[in-house]
Structure 1
Amino acid sequence: MNAHTTPQLASLGRVHFIGIGGVGMSAVARIMVARGVPVSGSDAKDLPVMADLAAGGARIAVGYDAGNLGDAETVVAGSAIRDDNPELAAARQSGLPVLHRSQALAATMGDDTVVTIAGTHGKSTTTSMVTVLLQAAGLDPSFAVGATIPALGVNAAHGTSGIFVAEADESDGSFLNYRPRIAVVTNVEPDHLDYYGTAEAVYESFDRFTALLPADGLLVACADDAGALALAERTRARSNTRVLLYGTNAAADIRLHDDGPGQVAVEAHGARYGLSLQVPGRHNALNAAAAFAVALELGVEPAAAAAGLAHFAGASRRFELKGSARGVRVFDDYAHHPTEVRAALTAARSVAGGHRVHVLFQPHLFSRTREFAEQFAEALNLADTALVLDIYPAREDPIPGVTSQLIADHLAGGGRLTAASDAVGTLAEAAADGDVVLTVGAGDVTAYGPLIVEALRA
């Protein structure tokens, strides 16, 4: 048994990943390989991360076939894998245990001090910030993030410090599979109602999440978000769990201060520390305050924590610069909830200065579009030009009467539906020197950014 293989991890035996190329699945597989677990996996496409895993010793197959299971003793299936997948069907027929990605990740954590970052928005960025900050402070955490971190080049790694930092996804309730000692909650808003059904069910799931904290655990919550603040108050009322608040709110223990354009500072224990952030937007300053709070709890000196944040240059698909041409900068963002879209466009406004902002938005899921159409339009109206593509269905079947037109009905003069074939040319023509173009959504809209840069150069 590898020195880093815990009994819980060893009990899984040989592990096969169905959908190993996915960002979340590859993260878990990467850590298991590093911790000495025999890993195999498959995916429909040959993705770059699969070559990395193969180089580390994993047995990789392209395409799904029952034979790919080989001598696997445990199977991990990605959330996008359908029941009729031949490998999943064969695993179930053979009686093999089939784990959700989060269950497999929990098994890798073992006896590490676990830090989980949850919230409706900002999870990947905050998880990335905590990881980069801890590394800069001389610690070597294990980590698993739902996005590649350019500063680190990967989305997951095995570390030697006995600290494990992980993004905890509430979208399907799987964040309840972890056992954190420190839990961060960036915000709590109704989302993923296709899974939860009601806003109340969302709030209840976060209550169950904070209830997982041990007696010596810590909840780090954003005082500026009504949902997170209410969660913190409920947690305090029902248990002895320590609660630490961060934000600009007077109730915050870690206080964020705006020191002028692009200048922010955090105040802790009566002292003030300036932050040099490479990522724009008030939401990112709040995420930085959360990371700062976690670092202090793990014993990092405040000055070192503040300095470490300067090393964070963003996470993949989180206001990521795709290129520039003719003086126009093109960014891409994963935002797929109205609050996230608003935050991305507010950041774009600050980056553009007095110039114009143009956005190409692709709604994600029919159910989310139905629930939030008007709010999406209100956020998109912050842009000078707002083009909306057809809905990206992801895992959903169409819902009668639910189309992108529901959003377009509430757009201001600079907004309208667009055909995919027209979007690139329209934006390249509309953008002028100094303007910012933003592609937004959790679907394949990310592919449009490089095409817009190319069109600007033509």
Structure 2
Amino acid sequence: MDLNNIHKVYFIGIGGIGMSAIARFFNEKGVKVSGYDRTATPLTRQLEAEGMQIHYTDDVNAIDKDTNLVVYTPAIPATHTELQWYRDNGYEVVKRSDVLQEITRTLFAITVAGTHGKTTVSTMIAHLLTDSGYGCNAFLGGISVNYNKNFWSSDKQVAVIEADEYDRSFLKLSPDIAVLTAMDADHLDIYGTPEAMEEAFIQYTHNIKPNGTLIARFGLHRGSELKADNKLLYSLQNDAANAYAANIRMINGGYEFDVMQQDWMIDNLHLQIGGMHNVENVVAAITVAHLLGISADKIRAAVASFKGIKRRFEYVIKNDHQVYIDDYAHHPEELRALITSARALFPGRQCTVIFQPHLFSRTRDFAEGFAASLSLADEVILLPIYPARELPIAGVTSEILAARITVPVKIMQKEEVLEWLKKTPVPLLITAGAGDIDQLKEPISHLLN
């Protein structure tokens, strides 16, 4: 695949967060981009406004039959009519990960993998490199608040790429700098066992280019099996790591701190987003920026100007009377970090979490963990499970979580939530989940304001 010889590209599932980043990459290169998605969303409307042609019915009469390349997401079923037509008629049909593989082959690649934190860390790295003037091409799995997009380009031959473990696609990448944030079990519908998933993360580090660097979170299970010619470890506060935060102070919903390493330090850093896990995330990003030779003053200024990612500990409302946080958390560990950080930042406030479980298999596999994390709130509202790509599993509903949660819990439909909120004071409200719970963010914001 020669990315420089492609003049037309067609995307099946163009509205996905990872797919849309690659669509924007081609569009900015002057390639004609078109595609299909199941439903129109604010993101697909933005892509259309940028000049891409998108339709919303699976119809071979609507596709571009002159395209040089067809890119599809693994979330698309193999029976999809358009996908089958392109395959049957001899077109070059590749996954999103195949395009990223070529990008990592041709550019200096910084990839970020891990069960949690990869969107935040990759966006932080891309912002530090951009804000400092170093420059990068960013392929992200979330919408940066600073730039209001998930892709931006640069003349610098450097790419920052979020490396997705779903369907093992990240194993195609060959990074110069690889970041690994977590190896907790997830996607057991793909991997089968936690051990198989750990093996995949270990293999990810084996694909680092010669003389490349691994920046891994301190204390990872099987961390000794991670392989790279150069290895650095980062931590929130453990001074046995190569880089860690010290003197952390909570200030107005954010943090001030220093980052320490054996032979360097950067003091008086200010991060204006919440979540103690985000202090650890920015330690990883700062380690990358320092490795690339970016000065302490530029790193300090870039961290201070970082506004976060939409749906990652996003402050929708933050004032003396009301705090409303929206987050993508859909794994027990992510929920635990989210709720504990919010409670620490806003102590004494009654904490209500509205959670939409994502996938029947994930809800079944981690029911005990979900219940334990959600029980850290004062009360919980559960929405029905968002199925995404799955068919229902007998006996797996939100009730299996409700039965295990140890604080007051209710199960509601999305449309019932607003009526409930009209009658109920919620000094600290969190909405969380990876499905369509984000559709509640705007109406809840209007209601609470």
Report TM bin, short chain. over 0.9
Structure 2 CA distance, aligned partners of 1:429 and 1:79? 43
Q: What residue identity is the alignment partner of 1:198?
A: T
Under a length normalisation based on structure 2, what TM-score does the superposition of the two structures give? Answer: 0.93
- Where in structure 2 are the equivalents of 1:272-283 lying within 5 Å? 272-283=266-277
2:259 to 266, 284, 304: 266
Which one is further off, 179-188 or 8-17? 8-17
- Percentage identity across paired residues of the two chains: 38
| Amino acid in the other structure paired with 2:260 | E
Aligned to 1:251: 240
- Change in 2 beyond 3 A, CA 1:314/1:8: same
Q: Which residue of 2 aligns with 1:429?
A: 423
Aligned residues of 1:8 and 1:110 also touching (Cα < 8 A): no
Q: Give the TM-score of the pair, scaled to structure 1.
A: 0.91
Deviation at residue 139 of structure 1 after TM alignment:
1.6
Cα distance, 1:280 vs structure 2: 1.3
Cα drift, residue 339 of structure 1:
0.3
- Mapped to 2, the partners of 1:182 and 1:412 lie a distance apart of 43
Q: List per-residue Cα deviations over 1:251-306 (Å, max 9, x = no partner).
A: 21112114333332101314342320011122100100000001011111233223
Show structure 2 runs of 5+ residues with no match: none
The reply to whether residue 447 of structure 1 matches residue 406 of structure 2 is: no
Deviation at 1:70, TM superposition (A): 2.0
Deviation at 1:189, TM superposition (A): 0.5
Shift of 1:214: 1.6
- Give the Cα separation in 2 of the matches to 1:328 and 1:290: 31
2:133 to 130, 135, 138: 138
Aligned to 1:216: 211
Q: State the shift of 1:120 in Å.
A: 0.5
Matches within 5 A, 1:336-347: 336-347=330-341
Distance 2:50 2:439 in 1: 29
How far residue 22 of structure 1 moved from its aligned partner, in angstroms, is 2.0
CA contact (8 A) 1:331 1:449 kept: no
Alignment RMSD: 2.1
Change (3 A) 1:57 1:297: same
Three-state SS of the structure 2 residue aligned to 1:220 is strand
CA displacement at 1:371 relative to structure 2: 1.0
Assess, with a 3 A threshold, how the Cα gap between structure 1 residues 47 and 272 changes in structure 2: closer, same or farther. Answer: closer
Confirm or deny: 8 A CA contact 1:143 1:157 kept in the other structure: yes
**Distance between the aligned counterparts of 1:212 and 1:103, measured in 2?**
15
Distance 1:408 1:44 in 2: 32
Q: 1:192 aligns with which of 162, 187, 196?
A: 187
**Distance (whole Å) between structure 2 residues aligned to residue 70 and residue 316 of structure 1:** 36
Once the two structures are TM-superposed, the CA of residue 363 in structure 1 deviates from its matched residue by 0.6
Alpha-carbon spacing, 1:95–1:374, altered in 2? closer, same or farther (3 Å): same
Q: Give the conservation status (yes or no) of the 8 Å contact 2:178–2:213.
A: yes
CA distance in structure 2 between the aligned counterparts of 1:313 and 1:78, rounded to whole angstroms: 29
Contact 2:37 2:57 in 1 (8 A): yes
What's the counterpart of residue 33 of structure 2? 39
**How many residues were matched structurally?**
442
Q: 1:91 to 1:298 in 2, by over 3 A?
A: same
C-alpha contact (below 8 Å) 2:138/2:151 kept by paired residues:
yes
Matches within 5 A, 1:148-159: 148-159=143-154
Kindly state the Cα deviation for residue 324 of structure 1 after the two structures are TM-superposed: 6.3
What is the DSSP-based 3-state SS (H/G/I as helix, E as strand, rest coil) of the residue aligned with 2:106? coil
Q: Which residue of 2 aligns with 1:61?
A: 55
Q: Counterpart in 1 of 2:169?
A: 174
Secondary structure of 2:216's counterpart equals strand
Per the TM alignment, residue 53 of structure 1 is displaced from its structure 2 partner at its CA by: 4.0
How far off is 1:118 after superposition? Answer: 0.5
SS of the equivalent of 1:257 reads: strand
Does the 8 A contact of 2:257 with 2:269 survive in 1? yes
TM superposition shift of 1:34: 1.8
* AA partner of residue 445 (structure 2): V
Verify: 1:112 aligned to 2:107, yes or no.
yes
Greater shift, 63-72 or 414-423, is seen at 414-423
Pair 1:242-2:230 in alignment: yes
Q: Distance in 2 between matches of 1:273 and 1:401?
A: 53
Is 2:360 aligned against 1:363?
Answer: no
SS in 1 for 2:86: helix
What amino acid is the match of 2:448? Answer: L
The one-letter amino acid of 1:453's match is: S
CA deviation string 1:180-208 (max 9, x = no partner):
10000011101110110001110100111
Partner of 1:10: 4
Of 13, 16, 25, 1:22 maps to 16
**Is 2:414–2:440's contact at 8 Å kept on the other side of the alignment?**
no
For the residue of structure 2 that corresponds to 1:259, the secondary structure is: strand
Instruction: Name the SS for the 1:139 alignment partner.
Output: coil
Shift, 1:117, TM fit: 0.5
**Separation in 1, partners of 2:9, 2:383:** 39
Q: 2:321 matched to 1:327?
A: yes
1:362, 1:392 within 8 Å by CA — same for their partners in 2?
yes
SS of the equivalent of 2:431 reads: strand
Structure 1 residue 427: Cα displacement: 3.6
Shift in CA distance, 133/423, structure 1 to aligned 2, threshold 3 Å: same
Counterparts of 1:83-122 in structure 2, within 5 Å, are 83-122=78-117
Please tell me whether the aligned partners of residues 12 and 83 of structure 2 are also in contact (alpha carbons under 8 angstroms).
Answer: yes
The alpha-carbon deviation at position 327 of structure 1 amounts to: 2.5
Tell me what 2:72 maps to: 77
Q: Give, in angstroms, the shift of residue 360 of structure 1.
A: 0.4
| Partner Cα distance (2:358, 2:167) in 1 | 16
- Provide closer, same or farther for how the CA distance between residues 203 and 352 of structure 1 changes in structure 2, counting only shifts above 3 A: same
The answer on whether the counterparts of 2:111 and 2:179 sit within 8 Å (CA) in structure 1 is yes
Deviation track 1:314-335 (CA, whole Å, cap 9, x = no partner) reads: 1011111234699322221100
